[in-house]
Structure formats: C-alpha cells, structure tokens
C-alpha cells in the first residue's frame, strides 16, 4: 500500500529512523479469529478479493474444501480445512483462515534487502510497499508462516495488508466486516485478548479443556490471533506452527554477521593498502635483470 504515512516504526533495509512523528497511536490493533465460530463459508476470502480488487485464476478442486488450495499473489487469505478425528473417535472439522499474522517481530521485514519495501506501522500492521519491492523473494525465506507470495506477472511480493488502507481511516478489515458468524473481530490488541479470554472460559466449560489463544511469543506476539479449541496442538489446524520464530539461519544471515563481514572486507582492503605503503612494491632490481641475463646466456651457450 502506498499511503503517505508518518507512523512507521520499522522499515526494511533502513538503519536510520523511519518517519514516526505520528506514533505511538493510542494502541496496537489486532484481528482475532475464533476458529470455534468459523463455519467455513469463505465470505472472508470473497470480501478480501472484492475490497482489494483481486481476482485469482480459477484453479482445480483437489478433493478438499480448500479453494484456492494455497495462498497466492492474488489470494491473500485462504481457509484451510482439516479433518481431525479426536480421541473419542469423533470428527472435528478444524477450519483456519490462513494469511499474514502481522508479527511484532516480522521475519519478512528482517530479511528484506530493499529499503522501504516492507514497513511496520505503530499500530502493528506489517505492510508491503510493492513499488519498492525488487522481487528477490527474501521475505519468503524470512517468514516463519510461509505467507508472502511473489506474483508471476509483476514479480513483486504480496500478502494480506490487514486492510491497512481501511484501518487508517477507522474501518475494520474487509474480512471482519463480512464475517457472518462473528468469528473474525477487530479492535485494539488488548481488547481482543480480553474477548479471547472470555471465549476461552466459555469453550473450556463446554469440554474443550485445552482451548486457548494463539499469540506466539517467539515472534513477539502477532496482530492476527486465533482462538483455538486445541491450543495445545496448533499443528492440527493445517500445520499451524506450534512455536514459530525467525529461523536461526535467517538471524545468522541477516544479523550481526553482515556488519562484521563488511568490516572484514574493509579491513582486508586497508591491510593491502597499508602493506604497500609500509613495505613498498616488490620491484625487479637491475641485479635481477643482470642475473637473469647471465642465466639465459649460459642456457643458450649450452644449447
């Protein structure tokens, strides 16, 4: 999204402070997705398409309700349907609306080499600014949730914006607006946590003893949270990461090693330069020419 914004707290590949005069906003926002209230109607997918003017290619049915079968540059949210047989032998249909989690510690932003292609606003939304995107795909490697997708047409990375354009003018995201069961709600992160707490008490009273909130601390918490009936086993929900965190390889790749490596290259250049300044060039002296000439003469004389 290309909104002029003065409340940016983090900007990719930028070491100086981003424009942040307008922060902090009153509070961080969050979307709360209550999987126990979701009926899998896909109205959220449709609302996302409509608001963002996205039209994915019509795909093929893979034998499940997953349609489309994966996130794409044109499908920023997808419902994932999992059939789970619980220990009592009953079927549970676990439906999870997948999409960007808007991590407090975003791996995509950390990995991105293009200044300003990824920003994080003071309200917690992580947004891609595609006009700065160079199409390298590092965000895909950085993301602990496998969310960003590069368009095959323009080679830019896309994902859910949490409707940052709507939120900026006081509206809730399109998927929230449309959800017919109230499974998706939006508000301050604090308020969403309180709502989740109430719901979890309710779910526990109905026999879901492991009901809980998914707000993983490994990525500093997220601005899209789930209420799960089985919070002890998030992986049941089509492979939701139990303990997501920015991969160690990415931290090493993007962390302190980079300035150290740059420094080492700079030092090597300085060492070469000052070695030359201190001990001078290795030059051929007249004696060497003379010695070479004598040996040549000797060799030819022998021939």
For the beta carbon of residue 5, count every other beta carbon within 10 angstroms.
Answer: 19
Q: Does 153 bind other proteins (CB under 8 A)?
A: no
Of positions 135, 187, 218, 239, contacts other proteins by CB under 8 A: 135
Contact of 51 with 166, CB cutoff 8 Å: yes
Quick one: which of 70, 146, 209, 235 contacts other proteins (CB under 8 A)?
Answer: 146
Is 277 a binder of other proteins (CB under 8 A)? Answer: no
The binder of other proteins chosen from 109, 150, 183, 203 (CB under 8 A): 150
Q: Under the criterion CB under 8 A, does residue 259 sit at the interface with other proteins?
A: yes
Q: Is 2 in the site for other proteins (CB under 8 A)?
A: no
Give least dist CB 34 to other proteins, A.
Answer: 28
From the list 54-62, 83-91, 96-104, 107-115, the region that binds other proteins by CB under 8 A is 107-115
Contacts of residue 274, Cβ cutoff 8 Å, sequence gap at least 6: none
CA distance 125 to 142: 17
C-alpha closest to that of 147 among 14, 239, 256: 239
Sign of CA dihedral 98, 104, 106, 109: positive
Pick from 4, 15, 85, 169: which binds other proteins (CB under 8 A)?
Answer: 15
The reply on whether position 300 binds other proteins by CB under 8 A is: yes
Residue positions counted in the chain: 303
28-36, 165-173, 227-235, 267-275 -> range binding other proteins (CB under 8 A): 267-275
Residues 17, 113, 198, 205: which binds other proteins (CB under 8 A)? Answer: 113
218 contacts: CB under 8 Å, gap ≥ 6: 144, 243, 244, 245
| 13 is an interface residue for other proteins by CB under 8 A | yes
Could you say whether residue 134 binds other proteins (CB under 8 A)?
Answer: yes
* Shorter beta-carbon distance to other proteins: residue 90 or 302: 302
How far from each other are the two terminal CA atoms of the chain, in whole angstroms?
Answer: 81
Is 79 in a helix, a strand, or coil? strand
116 and 14 in contact (C-beta within 8 Å)?
yes
Three-state secondary structure call for residue 196: helix
Q: What is the Cα–Cα distance from 103 to 262, expressed in whole angstroms?
A: 29
Instruction: Quickly list DSSP for 206-242.
Output: TT-TT-EEE--GGGT-BSEEEEETTTT-GGGTTS--S
Minimal distance in Å, beta carbon 215 to other proteins? Answer: 23
Return the range that interacts with other proteins (CB under 8 A); candidates 7-15, 166-174, 217-225, 232-240: 7-15
By CB under 8 A, name the one of 137, 220, 239, 242 that touches other proteins: 137
210 sits near other proteins (criterion: CB under 8 A) = no
Residues that bind other proteins (CB under 8 A): 13-15, 113-115, 132-138, 140-141, 143, 146, 150, 155, 247, 249-250, 252-253, 257-259, 261-262, 264-265, 268-269, 271-273, 275-276, 279-286, 288-293, 295-296, 299-300, 302-303
């Amino acid at each position: 999204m290309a909104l002029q914004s003065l409340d940016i707290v983090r900007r990719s590949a930028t070491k100086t402070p981003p424009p942040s005069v307008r922060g902090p906003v009153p509070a961080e926002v969050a979307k709360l997705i209550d999987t126990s209230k979701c009926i899998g109607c896909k109205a959220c997918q449709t609302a996302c398409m409509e608001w963002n003017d996205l039209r994915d290619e019509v795909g093929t049915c893979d034998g499940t309700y997953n349609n489309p079968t994966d996130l794409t540059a044109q499908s920023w949210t997808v419902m994932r349907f999992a059939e789970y047989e619980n220990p009592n032998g009953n079927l549970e249909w676990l439906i999870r609306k997948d999409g960007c989690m808007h991590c407090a510690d975003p791996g995509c932003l950390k990995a991105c080499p293009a200044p300003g292609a990824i920003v994080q606003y003071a309200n917690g939304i992580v947004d891609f600014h595609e006009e700065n995107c160079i199409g390298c795909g590092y965000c895909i490697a950085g993301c602990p949730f496998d969310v960003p997708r590069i368009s095959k047409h323009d080679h830019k990375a896309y994902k859910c914006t949490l409707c940052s354009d709507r939120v900026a003018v006081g509206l809730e995201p399109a998927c929230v607006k449309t959800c017919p069961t109230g499974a998706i709600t939006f508000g301050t992160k604090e308020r969403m946590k309180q709502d989740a707490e109430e719901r979890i008490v309710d779910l526990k009273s109905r026999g879901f003893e492991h009901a809980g909130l998914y707000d993983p601390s490994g990525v500093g918490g997220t601005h899209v949270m789930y209420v799960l009936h089985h919070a002890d086993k998030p992986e049941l929900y089509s492979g939701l990461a139990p303990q997501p965190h920015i991969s160690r390889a990415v931290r090493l790749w993007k962390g302190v090693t980079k300035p150290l490596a740059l420094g080492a290259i700079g030092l090597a250049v300085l060492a070469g330069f000052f070695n030359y300044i201190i001990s001078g060039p290795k030059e051929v002296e007249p004696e060497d020419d003379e010695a070479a000439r004598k040996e040549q003469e000797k060799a030819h004389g022998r021939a």
